Structure 1
Amino acid sequence: MSTSLIDSRIFGDMFGTAKMRQVFCDEALIDRYVEVEAALARAQARVGIIPGQAATDIARAAGAFTADIDRLARETLIVGYPILPLVRQLSEAAGEAGRYVHWGATTQDIMDTALVLQLRQAIGELEKQTGMLQATLARLAQDHRETLMAGRTHLQHALPITFGYKAAVWLSMFDRHMARLRELKPRLLVGSFSGAAGTLASLGSQGLQVQRALCEELDLGVPAITWHVARDNLAEAVGFLALLTGSLAKIATDVSLMMANEFGEVAEPFVPGRGASSTMPQKRNPISCEVIIANAKAVRQNAALMFDAAVHDFERSTGPWQAEWLAIPQSFVLTAGALANAVFMLEGLTVDKQRMRQNLDITGGLIVAEAIMMAAASVLGRQAAHERVYEACKQAAENARPLSQVLAEQADICDALGGAAGIERLCGPESYLGSTLAMVDGLLMAGGRLSGTSSEGRPA
């Protein structure tokens, strides 16, 4: 029985992914604890603190070790932490060499370093997923580079854009997220081995040698100083996930609104029964979008919890550390689930170009009012042009007439715009895209993602 959506047999693959759950499952966590203990023994043998044979025996026992999880759970409930109960089992498995297991270490050394190993694996999975998303968004940006649609501000028509431009804006967020992730990793993927109060006193003058050797064994960065009560690195990691899922939720919000019948511009991939209603046969709900938005909300709350948990007292905390145990695994699983839903949704996204154009034209040309005003301003002056075009827009809206007809009836504006031909040209939304196409091309070229280009860098 599960009390969490991400571990539920019913909901787990909707809100998370099997791969990310595997990273943070109990069995994988125990494996990481044992991996750190074995690496610590090898490191201490390298420095000469424990016998080389003992390290070999501990490593051999660790490789074949299977924990008694029921016993581990019972003893953890008593101790409050799983490391001492686990060390007992590993020491028993190592025989005579067991006396050297966990030598000079403390519980948090093992747990934090094991967590970092989990985070390295989790980040690798997120990088793969984000790379897939970037490729999908780049394809949408290029395929729909010139697909006209209404740009909306405050939920109202603003100016013409293209769907490729919208996809490129979405893509730009994930280019930045990948850059953030590259910058984050050296701060996050750092080992933790500092002893009871962070001073490595139990190892005398050899403490830093062991710390460095342990980090080398695990291919982790060496800390500049003890960080077990300085948790900004972990708070930053979950804060990054909040940014990433926030961007996913922005896309999901756009898509879910564009799926509304009144818009009908895009639709999530059709799979028989997906998004169906138990009572309304016509329904095709934006299920992936809904999950993405829900996951993003939960991750943002976890980010707040992590920022609060960064406030540790003295040299060992009383409570904030345990809050991380709740927030970190859940945040990574929810982020992976949001990415999986986004990749599925965008890879199979149905784009209705005709409906986009119909919606663009629904206001009878009002969406290009700024273009008309700017063109007339060169003759009438900006303020006068604004007032005249504003009045023309009002008449067009109130009488349900095309803006071009209203403008053509006003001699001074008609002349200022170059006559009927000028009005017709200016009222064409494709003539008022500004730098839209250049921006799409620039983003795609910057990432080496623009294919089939001419010598000018434009699609051939």
Structure 2
Amino acid sequence: MPSTVTESLIFRDMFGTEAMRSVFSDETLVRRYLEVEVALALAEADVGVIPAEAAAKIEAAARAMKVDFDRLRHQTEITGYPILAIVHQLSEAAGDAGGYVHWGATTQDIMDSATVLQLRAAFDLIEAELAALRTALTDLARRHRDTPMAGRTHLQQALPVTFGYKAAVWLSMIERHSERLAQLRPRVLVGQLAGAAGTLASLGADGFAVQAAFCDRLGLCHPSATWHVARDGFAEAVGFLGLVTGSLGKIATDVMLMATTEFAELAEPFVKGRGASSTMPQKRNPISSELMLAAAKAVRQHVALMLDGMIHDLERATGPWHAEWIAIPESFILTSGALAQANFMLPGLVVDAPRMRANLDISGGLIVAEAVMMAAAPKLGRQHAHDVIYDACRIAATEQLQLADVLAGVPEICDALGGVEAIRQHCDPARYLGLAPQMVDRMLEAR
């Protein structure tokens, strides 16, 4: 019975997706092994290394054979790798052509190339999720281009922004991840065929020709050199997932904070019972955000594992390779789960614009103290204006007064700004949004 959250009958759809689990399932993985073995045989037949009829029989056997998983598991436990067990079953199924199975290859050639095929399919799923997320964030940014809210630094109100600006910042991260995915594909989706020590010695003078035909058969890029112990490609793939889930974790953290009772500016989409408490009927917990954050934390650990696993010894490793078997599938499944949660949550995100505006006013105008300072600076000098308004802010905060009322009693400020009405205009948070709306425009135009 499954015991991990990515496979659990209870938790698996909270932490992953069926499509991504399928990419990394045992059944799919074994089919990838067979696909690679077939590509090897056909490539060798293309070059004339093995008879074409033998390659055809191997291909037919791989297509028709039923894998004995109990036997495969037992032999893998003995050998430490699954490929020898697969080769035995395929060779038997291929009959008199069985002697040509796995010709000139080594275990890691087959396993690495199969993993690359998994990554290609997984990247396609990630790409689709990122595209959907970009659409959702584009809509949020456009709809809330001019929705004022408090911008916060160090968990304190800082200056006014717009919610559209915040969504555009989120969008900018996802846009870059889409660019990164396109850029890393040719570096990561590279075939592996090099033989026991990576020199293609077993294929002699035909080695490069077979390698090229093999990669072409699989639709993979050709390696510039053997990468048995050069694991930067796989580390980059998981590192990319760490970046994606890190961004999702940032979005989730913003949503969770803004959904707190005291802020109440956002809420995840309402689904009856979702986020409910077993004892507090009023609760509406931000479940999608919590799951996104959990995935970010877990994938981050796998990024560290993959970086550590880059340190392979000599021409074939004695253990770091095995760590990839843990980190790669789990990272992709967790990332798919986090993206699915984001694509559920963000399109239906409930944005309370009136509450955002009300929160802008809770400081009594203190949030726009900079606006008043900068307006007075041309006449008073920047530092003197800062000092005068700093003192006014302390009075307003201590005595719970409106900043505009305190400043109206400061002759220097009245004179510098041109009267009490001008002071009140400068103390209106909605009038000090900077270029936040224009930044939304620029972000959307760049898409």
Is 2:383 the counterpart of 1:383? yes
1:5 corresponds to which residue?
5
The equivalences for 1:354-373 within 5 A come to 354-373=354-373
Amino acid at match of 1:385: A
2:335 corresponds to which residue?
335
How many positions carry a matched residue from both structures?
447
1:42 corresponds to which residue?
42
**How far apart, in 2, do the equivalents of 1:380 and 1:363 lie?**
25
**How far apart, in 2, do the equivalents of 1:115 and 1:387 lie?**
63
1:232 corresponds to which residue?
232
The equivalences for 1:163-312 within 5 A come to 163-312=163-312
Preserved CA contact (<8 Å) 2:198 2:226:
yes
Deviation string, structure 1 residues 246-295 (Cα, Å, up to 9, x no partner): 00000000000001000000000110100011111111111111111111
- Alpha-carbon deviation of 1:430? 2.1
**How far apart, in 1, do the equivalents of 2:271 and 2:2 lie?**
28
Preserved CA contact (<8 Å) 2:136 2:347:
yes
**How far apart, in 2, do the equivalents of 1:431 and 1:419 lie?**
17
Q: Secondary structure at the match of 2:337?
A: helix
Segments of structure 1 that go 5 or more residues without pairing to the other structure are 448-460
Seq. identity, %: 63
**How far apart, in 2, do the equivalents of 1:442 and 1:66 lie?**
56
Q: Secondary structure at the match of 2:318?
A: coil
**How far apart, in 2, do the equivalents of 1:40 and 1:118 lie?**
17
**How far apart, in 1, do the equivalents of 2:247 and 2:65 lie?**
42
Deviation string, structure 1 residues 295-343 (Cα, Å, up to 9, x no partner): 1001000000000000000111000000000000000000000000011
CA-atom RMSD in angstroms? 0.7
Shifted more, 401-410 versus 110-119: the winner is 401-410
Shifted more, 178-187 versus 329-338: the winner is 178-187
The equivalences for 1:22-61 within 5 A come to 22-61=22-61
**How far apart, in 1, do the equivalents of 2:70 and 2:284 lie?**
45
The equivalences for 1:393-432 within 5 A come to 393-432=393-432
Segments of structure 2 that go 5 or more residues without pairing to the other structure are none
Amino acid at match of 2:247: S
**How far apart, in 2, do the equivalents of 1:282 and 1:425 lie?**
40
- Alpha-carbon deviation of 1:65? 2.2
Preserved CA contact (<8 Å) 2:148 2:433:
no
**How far apart, in 1, do the equivalents of 2:439 and 2:2 lie?**
48
**How far apart, in 2, do the equivalents of 1:201 and 1:416 lie?**
84
**How far apart, in 1, do the equivalents of 2:348 and 2:229 lie?**
46
- Alpha-carbon deviation of 1:62? 1.2
**How far apart, in 1, do the equivalents of 2:431 and 2:65 lie?**
70
Deviation string, structure 1 residues 101-139 (Cα, Å, up to 9, x no partner): 111111000000000000000000000000100110000
Q: Secondary structure at the match of 2:249?
A: helix
Preserved CA contact (<8 Å) 2:275 2:287:
yes
Deviation string, structure 1 residues 88-109 (Cα, Å, up to 9, x no partner): 1111111111111111111000
Deviation string, structure 1 residues 185-236 (Cα, Å, up to 9, x no partner): 1100000000000001011100111000000000000000100100011111
Is 2:387 the counterpart of 1:392? no
Is 2:103 the counterpart of 1:99? no
Amino acid at match of 2:67: A
**How far apart, in 2, do the equivalents of 1:229 and 1:298 lie?**
25
TM-score with structure 1 length normalisation?
A: 0.96
Q: Secondary structure at the match of 2:102?
A: coil
Q: Which 4+ runs in 1 deviate beyond 2 A? A: none
Amino acid at match of 1:149: M
- Alpha-carbon deviation of 1:64? 1.4
